[in-house]
Amino acid sequence: MSERSGRRRRRAYIDDSLIELDNSPPPRSPPSNDEEPEDADDAQNAASDNEVDNELDVTDQPILKRSKVEEVAGCSKEGAVAETETCDDEGKICLICFEEYSNAGAHRLVCLACGHLFGKSCIERWLRSEKVSKCPNCKAKAKLKDIRQIYGRAVQMRDTTELEQVKEINAMLRSENDSLKLQLARDRLKAQKEKETLEKELTAARSATTVSAPSVAPSLTQTRSDPPPQPVKQPLSLAFRSSAEVSRADSCRAISFCPHLCSLVVTSQNQQPMFHPFGFKKVDIATGKPLRYFPVHEGRPRDCVFSPSSDGQVLSTGEDKSLRITCTVSNTVIKRFALPANGWSCCWQGGVGQPYVYAGLSNGQVLMFDTRMGDADASEPIKDVTGGVNRVPVSTVHWIDQTNLNGLLVTDLKQCTFYDASQAAAVSPHVLIADEGQITSVCYDKETSQFAATFRPGSVHQTVTHKLYRLAAAEGAVQADVVKTWAMKSKMQTFMTRNALFNDSLEEGRLMGAAFDETSATVSLYDWTAARELTSCRLPSFDKDVMGVAHVYSRSSNFRSLAVLTQKKLHWLDMHLS
């Protein structure tokens, strides 16, 4: 009797809300001849004890209602226990009928709002049979409308904790690698500048030694091995060197050169467009061939310019209504500014350390942005320079940094305007050029503080005309004085070609210009100092869709060349002494 009472006590601990026991006693089997119970009470107690033992075995398995399982699936308790021991993964079998899921049919894989998985037919019958329908696993309230189909035969999760940790470490190491590359580029630039400074000091010391030599020994100075000084302003010639394909589609538009890094980039379209089908390619100035592609924009870029800080950053804008800053060292876009319209032109403010950039838009606006702003504030400009009064696309913007003048030179097809930096936006703009025909190009030279404008043939100018201007300020007004005029023979200009204005890298004080003649498909070299055309060179295949001309040079190797960009190719014209 003590053993039977102990079993009854253990039975009291069973949670009636989890396991519903069948109140009806199990059917009696007729007593055998070998074993016959002493009385009817002992037989009934023995049957009750066997029932408790069976119920205690069920509690060791997942918590289920046995009566409902037998009603819905018709599975015996012994079969469910055996099946559960072999299939303990919820993603492989249904916890109601202990059968595998199917990817179609009545027993396809479904889940409830709580996320537990069941066979569709089983869970539907389970919820219909319950007065207060609940999830068989977590007892959360559930309805038929909470059933969601899952399109998979089995659900298994893969442990990716270590993979995510490796990804984080990889990203951290990559960021550190990019920082080291940028620091290396800065150190190289610093070493190059120190080398040039030492070379200049050495040349000055040699010159001082030659001048201070005693006159009693002229033979010593005459027998020096130093070469004689070159005559000033020697004639130059242009010679075609090579051509390289930049893009298969007509997508090239802008070109920019950084003399400190000897780096050249051109805008183009990627041959295999993905997330950013447009960007720019870095070109090797020694071989003239593209080296690397930088994916930057979703739309075609219309302008790009290197940073004056010599850190390898490129400012670009285009037809995706954005202004972006890309680091060519780490090959990443480090800043993005949203624009209200397509961008046509862009520029940096001032020299090293200036945080402001400008974007000229197709609706005539010129917006000013601060590169120090975070990503959340980067979409808002800090100033509208033009005040939104103009509606003509802004073709070029240049920052003017002179002793007595600091401001923005804004050019569109009709006029050229100077906005003083000390004045508020859209207040007293100084119109420099107006009513002289359509302006197709304006290029600015920082060393001489002069700019050259190109005018399309029309009622004012019979042929393509270039004019050199000098800014002058007097009594609060700013005006542009014409220094010299260069009238070409060409009477046709279809494209808005950006010409070049530069100082000769080998001869100081020699201001030169390079312009494209669309009629003859030639590039002409003009000496603004001497006011005469020096030479010209015809492009191969008579390419006339020239987008821009850039002066590419290296002071250390006396390398001088003109990079001529068309919509598909990049042509190289080397400059030689005649």
User: 262: left (phi > 0), else alpha (psi -120 to 50), else beta?
Assistant: left
Quick one: pLDDT at residue 156?
Answer: 62
**Which residue, chain included where needed, has tokens 């006159």?**
215
Q: Residue 569 in 3-state DSSP?
A: strand
Tokens describing residue 149: 């189909």
Residue 23: predicted pLDDT? 40
**Could you tell me the domains of the chain?**
2-26+38-149 (3.30.40.10), 236-577 (2.130.10.10)
Strand partners, 383: 368
SS3 content of the chain, % helix, strand, coil (to 5): 20, 35, 45
pLDDT band at 191 (very low <50, low <70, confident <90, very high): confident
Phi/psi at 135 (5° precision): -70, 130
In this structure, how many other beta carbons lie within 10 angstroms of the beta carbon of residue 563? 22
The pLDDT, as a whole number, for residue 185 is 84
Which distant-in-sequence residues (6+ apart) come within 8 Å of 14 by Cβ? 21, 55, 56, 59
- pLDDT 10s digits, 400-429: 988 788 899 999 999 999 998 865 544 568
Residue 528 or 188, more confident: 528
Question: What is the rounded distance in angstroms from the CA atom of residue 333 to the CA atom of residue 265?
Answer: 15
Give the Cα separation of 315 and 335 in Å (integer).
9
**Percent above pLDDT 90 for the chain:** 42
Q: How far is CA 532 from CA 71, 491, 514, in A?
A: 105, 19, 12
Question: What is the Cα–Cα distance from 537 to 243, expressed in whole angstroms?
Answer: 14
User: What does the longest C-alpha to C-alpha distance in the chain come to?
Assistant: 151
Can you say whether the dihedral through the CA atoms of 393, 398, 402, 406 is positive or negative? positive
- Residue among 100, 243, 148 at smallest CA distance from 568: 243
Find how far residue 226's CA is from the centre of its chain: 52
Long-range contacts formed by 159-168: CB under 8 A, 24+ apart = none
Residue 218 in tokens: 């002229």
- pLDDT tens digits for range 488-526: 999 999 999 999 999 886 677 789 999 999 999 999 999
Beta bridge partners of 243: 571
Q: What is the pLDDT of residues 443-454, one digit of tens each?
A: 999 888 899 999
Q: Residue 147 has what pLDDT?
A: 94
Residue 209's pLDDT band (cuts 50, 70, 90): low
Asked if 294 and 280 touch (Cβ cutoff 8 Å), the reply is yes
Strands (E), 122-169: 148-149
- Rounded to whole angstroms, what are the CA distances from 482 to 31, 436, 452, 473, 529? 128, 13, 9, 14, 14
Lowest mean pLDDT among 174-183, 212-221, 308-317, 386-395: 212-221
* pLDDT single digits (tens) 437-482: 999 999 999 888 899 999 999 999 999 999 999 998 877 788 999 9
- Report the candidate in 437, 391, 381, 383 with the shortest Cα–Cα distance to residue 407: 383
Of 4-18, 91-105, 360-374, 543-557, where does mean pLDDT reach its minimum?
A: 4-18
The pLDDT of residue 57 is: 43
Say what the pLDDT of residue 37 is: 41
Report residue 280 CA to chain centroid gap.
Answer: 11
Backbone angles phi, psi at 513, to 5 degrees: -140, 145
Cα–Cα nearest to 390, from 358, 361, 347: 361
What Å distances lie between residue 119 and 124, 135, 432, CA to CA?
9, 13, 80
The model carries a pTM of 0.60
Q: What is the pLDDT of residue 82?
A: 42
Residue bearing the bigger pLDDT, 80 or 500: 500
Q: Return the SS3 of 205.
A: helix
The pLDDT of residue 378 is 64
pLDDT for the residue numbered 324: 94
Q: Which residues face 314 on adjacent strands?
A: 306, 326
Mean pLDDT over residues 287-310, rounded? 90
